[in-house]
Amino acid sequence: MPGYTDSETPPGLRGDERTVKVLLCGHLGAGKTTFVTTLSQIAPVSTEEVMTRAGADIDRTALPDKTTTTVAMDFGRLRLTEDLLLYLFGAPGQERFFPILQDLAVGALGALVLADTRRLADTYPILQLVEDLNLTYAVAVNTFDGAPDPTDQRLREVMDLTDGTPLVRCDARDRSSSRDALIALVRHLLTLTPEPAR
């Protein structure tokens, strides 16, 4: 952690505590900012900006209530267990911001990809980029009101997910639901990286 030597413990952390960086990604309007805001136990850092008429042809969305967009990142912190602290980095979803997503992925242990069934095709470039970055990931379908509700099997088919990739549903507005989605990712990471023997 910047500003501290290996022998020092940053304020608020115990010596036996593990910190994990998790990337939260998804297409424009998938609910990433809401997810981070819902879960963060600190005041979240957000870089939301108003979407203007000048950017209408670039940030195309069929969502009439979508008036802001993330232009750099969202950041939040969540203590998942007594000894596990998660740093959540939400990446912007537009293709022109993919270089930012790539930068935010450095040092991340895994990624949670948020998807919206109303615009599943917009998820494909995000999934491809996450795979190109060799990030272990889980997919969380954000259950928007009135959105189509395909079966898990159908979702796996259209997103070309392997049987081993966790697929869960969550409501980014609900703390318990969002936390369960993160737990699914962490469990997946632990199965791939078992704790060393003591």
Of the ranges 6-10, 49-53, 185-189, the best mean pLDDT one: 185-189
Poorest-confidence range of 5-9, 13-17, 101-105?
A: 5-9
| Distance (Å) of CA 117 to CA 86, 120, 153, 177 | 27, 5, 14, 17
In percent, the amount of the chain with pLDDT more than 70 equals 76
Q: Residue 186 and residue 179: Cα distance in Å, rounded? A: 10
The neighbour count for residue 105, using CB atoms within 10 Å, is 20
> For the segment 85-141, what is each residue's pLDDT rounded down to a tens digit?
999 999 988 888 889 999 999 999 999 999 999 999 999 999 999 999 999 999 999
- What order do you get walking across the sheet with 84-90 strand by strand? 45-50, 68-81, 84-90, 18-26, 110-115, 137-142, 167-170
> For the segment 66-87, what is each residue's pLDDT rounded down to a tens digit?
455 544 689 999 998 889 999 9
Residue 10: predicted pLDDT: 43
Mean pLDDT across 141-154: 95
Q: How confident is the model at residue 6 (pLDDT cuts 50, 70, 90)?
A: very low
In percent, the amount of the chain with pLDDT more than 90 equals 62
Spatial contact of 89 and 21, defined as CB atoms under 8 Å apart? yes
Mean pLDDT across 151-175: 96
Question: Is the domain 18-192 a CATH 3.10.450.240 member?
Answer: no
Q: Residue 110 and residue 185: Cα distance in Å, rounded? A: 8
Question: Would the pLDDT of 198 be above 60?
Answer: no
